[in-house]
Amino acid sequence: MIGVGLLGAGFIGETYAEALDDVRDARLVAHYSRSPERAAAFAARPGRNTRPHETMAALCTDPDVDLIVIALPNEVHLEAVRLAAAAGKGVICTKPLARTGPEAAEILRVVTEAGVWHGYAESAVFSPNLAKAHEIVAAGGIGDVLWMRAREGHSGPHAPHFWDAETAGGGALLDMGCHTVESARHFFGKDNPIVEVFAWGATLAHADKTTGEDTSIALLKFAGGQVASIESSWVEKGGMQLRHEIVGSGGRLVTDTASTPVWGFITKPVGYLVEKSDADTGWVYPVPEETRAYGFSQQMRHFVERFAAGEEPLETFHDGLAVNTVIDACYRSMASGKWETVATS
């Protein structure tokens, strides 16, 4: 049984905790939050039996913790990884790995020099829809992959710290484009790097909340000549929009993770429906078993199994660094209005 310690008790921390409930060989034994109120609320959840810690360092040195999951804001990732690595613990970090490529490189250096196991928690590639699409692509079902379009949109982040672009490191592109950059790498092959990007971003609807972009689009050119188009938006009402279109020389695939078999018109609020639903009456589209639909449960199961076996997972901090490096180039392109070369990570 792998003892897991969770750093962070906000929305994504709760999501990871729920996902870990699906993992047979893991037990959540300890948690930490920067907010004592959230830490108390987290511990009070029915069926939860975790030990609260007042500091990150205390959780990292807890002898019952084998594997640490970081579910903290971007600006805390490096400090948390340093503490976990110093304690010799395996570490999983939520997306994006860091605020910039150089910061991600430092995070990777820390775990590499400490010799600790690491996993990059990019849930998109573990979602059932994308996993099935990738299985079809890997089997040659649509021939050679030539082009991809991916879109993630919603009305804005849950936590206020994401709106602070200076502290978080960026806006919608960093927050959500990290998903679609990695799904593009997943489909086109990680041995086929993104070498050049062209990007545009603007603050269209939330100038009162953020100085970062709330809307962006980027073109990613791969070494093999293929292109991916990724769109990230904080201006869409009505719940999550998660769509991929993959075109190959012998066919095409479409995934829509936001689609649901349950929908209807309701006149009385009934509680939580779906992440970022924006309305609790009228036409609603609840997503059943959200942590599984978005790949969180499958991701945590994969990480725990690979950690227990001492094997490298599908997503590591190397991938997190690659994503941050691509996004850095996208921000340079937004500023220059030109195609920008992706630095070698």
SS3 category, 278 = coil
3-state secondary structure of 80: helix
CATH match for 2-124+296-313 among 3.10.20.30, 3.30.465.10, 2.60.420.10, 3.40.50.720: 3.40.50.720
With bands split at pLDDT 50, 70 and 90, how would you rate the model's confidence at 288?
confident
* CA nearest to 184, candidates 217, 149, 154, 153: 149
Helices 296-309 and 11-20 pack at an angle, to 10 degrees, of 60
What predicted TM-score, i.e. pTM, was given to this entire model? 0.94
Task: Identify which has the larger pLDDT, 288 or 341.
Answer: 341
In angstroms, the CA 214 to CA 203 distance is: 5
Under the banding of pLDDT at 50, 70 and 90, the label for residue 158 is: confident
Task: Retrieve residue 169's tokens.
Answer: 């490191």
Asked whether the beta carbons of 7 and 56 are under 8 A apart, the reply is yes
pLDDT at 149: 98
What's the topology of domain 126-294+324-341? Answer: Dihydrodipicolinate Reductase; domain 2 (3.30.360)
- DSSP letter assigned to residue 32: E
| N-terminal to C-terminal alpha carbon distance within the chain | 35
Place of tokens 């070698």: 344
Q: Residue ranges of the domains in the chain?
A: 2-124+296-313, 126-294+324-341
Q: How far apart are CA 141 and CA 151, in angstroms?
A: 23
Work out the burial of residue 332: count CB atoms within 10 Å of its CB; fewer than 13 is exposed, 13-18 middle, 19 or more buried: middle
Given a cut of 90, is residue 277 above it in pLDDT? no
Instruction: Say how far apart CA 304 and CA 177 lie, in whole Å.
Output: 26
From 169, 213, 145, 206, select the one nearest 323 (Cα to Cα).
Answer: 169
How would you label 197-220 residue by residue, b for 16+ Cβ within 10 Å and e otherwise?
bbbebebebbeebbebbbbbbbbb
User: For residue 32, with 0-12 CB atoms within 10 Å meaning exposed, 13-18 middle and 19 or more buried, which class applies?
Assistant: buried
Up-side HSE of residue 177: CA atoms within 13 Å toward CB?
A: 35
Q: Same topology for domains 2-124+296-313 and 126-294+324-341, yes or no?
A: no
**Which pLDDT score is estimated for 47?**
83
In tens, the pLDDT along 185-218 reads 999 999 999 999 999 999 999 999 999 999 999 9
Confidence bin at 276 (pLDDT 50/70/90): confident
Q: Which residues contact 234 (CB under 8 A, 6 or more apart)?
A: 153, 154, 155, 156, 157, 171, 172, 175, 176, 205, 206, 214, 215
Q: What are 67's strand-pairing partners?
A: 4, 90
DSSP 117: -
pLDDT confidence of residue 345: 63
The tens digit of pLDDT for each residue in 111-144 reads 999 999 999 999 999 999 999 999 999 999 999 9
**Beta strands per DSSP E along 208-278:** 215-222, 227-233, 241-248, 251-256, 264-266
In three-state form (DSSP H/G/I as H, E/B as E, the rest C), the secondary structure along 311-339 is CCCCCCHHHHHHHHHHHHHHHHHHHHCCC
